[in-house]
Structure 1
Amino acid sequence: MVELFVTIFMNWYCKMVKFLDLKRINSQYRDDLLNAASRVIDSGWYIMGQELKSFESRFAEFCGAKEAVGVANGLDALTLVLKAWIEMGVVKKGDEVIVPANTYIASVLAISENGLVPVFAEPNSKTYNLDIKSIEAVYTEKTKVILPVHLYGQISPMKEIMAYANSKGLMVLEDCAQSHGAEIEGKRCGSWGHASAFSFYPGKNLGALGDAGAVVTDSKELAKIVRTLGNYGSEVKYVNKYQGVNSRLDEMQAAFLNVKLDYLNKESDKRRRIAKKYLMQIKNKAIELPYVDDELGHVWHLFVIRVKDREDFASHLNKNGIQNLIHYPLPPHRQEAYKDYNNLSLPLTDKIHAEVLSLPLDPTMDSFEVDKVISVVNSYVLDSSE
């Protein structure tokens, strides 16, 4: 009996804890997803149909906004909003857009794609999001847009950001790719700025089974132009008002998202419970845990810690069966794609990118997996030579 117990324990302990098990996540809703796929197949209508209309309406309501427009992916969502504002005369090529220096490169690609100028701001040292101090430090007369990124699942201080933007006559575009359902005082991300962009990449909190994205806004004019731009610039078939692109959320992905939206709040609660256990039970002086501004408003897309010797710590995790990722190894201003910015002095951003590491946080994790992550993290010794 003792040997059996030891065998079971060792099999459990040696099992790899995946960073994110998408197969397990989606298998929970397998029957619903198959029914949704069958419904689309049987409808004979695969682009811009009823599934898309339903999801757009439901997602706008979920965010607390008036309009949602499905697009092909999160990058397109950002790009099309800025492109639409240019068409509307709200901004013009050469204008500056303030963006956190520690964001994923997509936030910056959308800016440069539209002939706008990214201005990199150091983030808040605790939340890693923009704050008023960081915005004020880089604001100039050429600034026309603030692009706060709600990184890791925690919303930026949008009440203060909107007050500042309104005082300066600036537009605000929220990057909500990591923050589906995050909120401040009951007001969800996507409903604070003049527009917002969402990604439904499979690994997101609300993930499709392929690429997908959406623009959310209260502006009917903006929504109409974004929808037109994403349909080759055409409102009427074969009549093109703008030089648009092909960026549409197809019926199949919309149907899948309609299914998964029903479970998003439940999954967010699971993420919060896991994160809370990590925060309470990870006790290692070598590890800097995430700062939580609003416990109920955080949706924990990622659980990002900081450690000085990241390579050594990652090796410790890997040896002990804990998958981990880095979000992100290089900030945009250090990428070859933005070599003109490589010499920028952004010491906090560089330090963050040298130290951050993401632990597994999967809403389907069981208590044994969570406990194993905690145990392995707590067993790490700085500069260990194991």
Structure 2
Amino acid sequence: MAVPLLDLKRDWPEIREEVEAGWRKVTETMRLLNGENLLAFEEEAARFFRTKYAFGVGSGTEALWLALIACGIGQGDEVIVQANGFVADIEAILWAGARPVVVEMEEDSLGPDPEAVKAAITPRTKALIVVHMYGHPITLEPILEICERHGLVLIEDASHAHGAEYRGQKIGTFGKVGCFSCGPVKNLNALGDAGLVITDDEEVAFKLRYLRVHGQVKKNEHHFYGFNSRLDELQAVVLRARLRRLSEQNERRRQWAARYREALSGVGDLRLPPEDGSERISVYHRFVVRTSQRDELMTFLKERGIGTGIYYPEPLHRQKAWREAGFPELSLPRSERVAKESLALPIFPELTESEFEEVVSAVRAFFGA
């Protein structure tokens, strides 16, 4: 039986009628930008994340860049980010005019190692981007303490973590700005590129609101130079429909994750994802296991028609782009080892029982369990 890593077609019938009805209304008026659906989505997202302000933007990458600019990060500043993040974190820092400083990851929660963060701080350090990998909240207390002690701006890349919680608070609301990708494969997903930024800071909110529209506060009145990063009405319709179902969809992911954990615990040298415990609620954007036989397991599953993924094959400091930009060669053995061991197994709300059993059976067979 073939089992896809992800199947985007399966949830479309559930929202198709609602989305197409919304699209008809949009095309009747041809108000394609800055319309009622964008405003409604932003209000609904602010309520969902329990934050004061939410703004739709063009992508998760743009959300990060706009967040840095809105927080005053720019030329001459340094921004720390963990090595196991995504290249968009580096790109956003560079676009803002700042310099990225990559640090070692912490294995238990997959966030930045607090001691590595402390060691990387210089008089030029102005911000820290933390990435909640695969939908798992990082351990936030030491990070919040470091930021407070050193006066650093905390920006959360929560692109994998729509709806995740830490100690009862939504991920994305701990930093000055929370940034989300809402691209096609995310838990909260549009039918194309889309993003979201959230904040409780009024001054930052003002900048975010207008940075995305060329700094235009009123028609042809540009108070500062900005960018074109708009979430259009058609995508806002889709995101409104999916936001209403997000909590239910996330719960289905958690149920499949619990089943995987029960079925694969103690199998071979598999290291399973972080457990939630009493403080964390993960949303399992990916179910990523680790094994010293990652490549062999991936090949074994592929031969049986089972989709897998690697997120990400190389840490940020080992990418060619890092070297081409002239940044220093780094040795971060933990991040490098984890990158070589990690493999994502199929997990999505519409996964079937037979598909789940097929994956589990194949993984156990590989290890002779």
Q: Normalization by structure 2: what TM-score?
A: 0.95
1:111 maps to 2:93: yes
8 Å CA contact 1:131, 1:156 repeated in 2: no
Q: Which amino acid aligns with 2:313?
A: P
> Any idea what the Cα deviations from partners look like across 1:208-259, whole Å, max 9, x if unmatched?
1111001100012212211211112211222222222110011111111111
The equivalent of 1:184 in structure 2 is 166
Aligned mate of 1:63, from 49, 73, 98: 49
Deviations 1:247-274 (A, max 9, x none): 0011111111111111000001000000
Helix, strand or coil for the counterpart of 2:272?
Answer: coil
Q: Which is worse superposed, 283-292 or 50-59?
A: 283-292
Residue in 2 that maps onto 1:120 = 102
The residue number in structure 2 matching 1:287 is 270
**Aligned residues between the structures:** 364
Q: Within 5 A, what are the aligned runs for 1:146-185? A: 146-185=128-167
Deviations 1:334-371 (A, max 9, x none): 11211133621111111111111110001101111111
- Which runs of structure 2 are paired with 1:68-87 in the superposition (5 Å)? 68-86=54-72
- Give the letter for the 1:284 counterpart: V
Structure 1 residue 306 corresponds to structure 2 residue 290: yes
1:17-56 map, 5 Å = 17-56=3-42
Paired letter, 2:5: F
Give the match's secondary structure for 2:4. coil
CA distance in 1, matches of 2:355, 2:143: 39
**Alignment partner of 2:190 out of 179, 184, 208:** 208
1:193 maps to 175
Asked if 1:95 is matched to 2:81, the reply is: no
Counterpart for residue 305 of structure 2:
321
Greater displacement, 338-347 / 317-326: 338-347
Structure 1 residue 64, shift from structure 2 partner: 1.2
Match of residue 10 from structure 1: none
Q: Does the 8 Å contact 1:16/1:321 carry over to 2?
A: yes
Distance 1:133 1:293 in 2: 23
Amino acid at match of 2:267: N
The correspondence of residues 139-150 of structure 1 with structure 2, limited to 5 A, is 139-150=121-132
Which residue of structure 2 aligns with residue 247 of structure 1?
229
Paired AA for residue 366 in structure 1: T
Cα distance in 1 for partners of 2:117, 2:277 equals 21
Q: Structure 2 residue aligned with 1:261, among 212, 223, 243?
A: 243
User: Partner of 1:252: helix, strand, or coil?
Assistant: helix
Contact between 1:121 and 1:137, CA under 8 Å: does it hold in 2? no
Change (3 A) 1:258 1:34: same
Question: Which residue identity does 1:335 align to in structure 2?
Answer: Q
Q: Percent identity?
A: 36
Of 363-372 and 123-132, more deviation after overlay is shown by 123-132
Unaligned runs of 5+ in 1: 1-14
How far apart, CA to CA, are the structure 1 residues paired with 2:197 and 2:344? 27
Task: Specify the alignment match of 1:5 in structure 2.
Answer: none
- Checking the alignment, whether the CA contact within 8 Å between 1:184 and 1:294 is kept in structure 2 is no
4+ residue segments displaced more than 4 Å: none
**RMSD over aligned Cα, in angstroms?**
1.5
**Aligned twin of 1:338:** 322
CA contact (8 A) 2:210 2:226 kept: yes
- TM-aligned CA deviation for residue 328 of structure 1: 0.7
Q: Distance in 1 between matches of 2:364 and 2:43?
A: 45
Does the CA-based 8 Å contact 1:179-1:301 persist in structure 2? yes
Is the contact between residue 335 and residue 342 of structure 1 (CA under 8 Å) also seen in structure 2?
Answer: no
After TM superposition, the score normalised by the length of structure 1 is 0.91
Q: Distance in 1 between matches of 2:318 and 2:161?
A: 25
Distance of 2:12 and 2:84 partners within structure 1: 30
Q: Which residue of 2 aligns with 1:234?
A: 216
Structure whose CA Rg is larger: 1
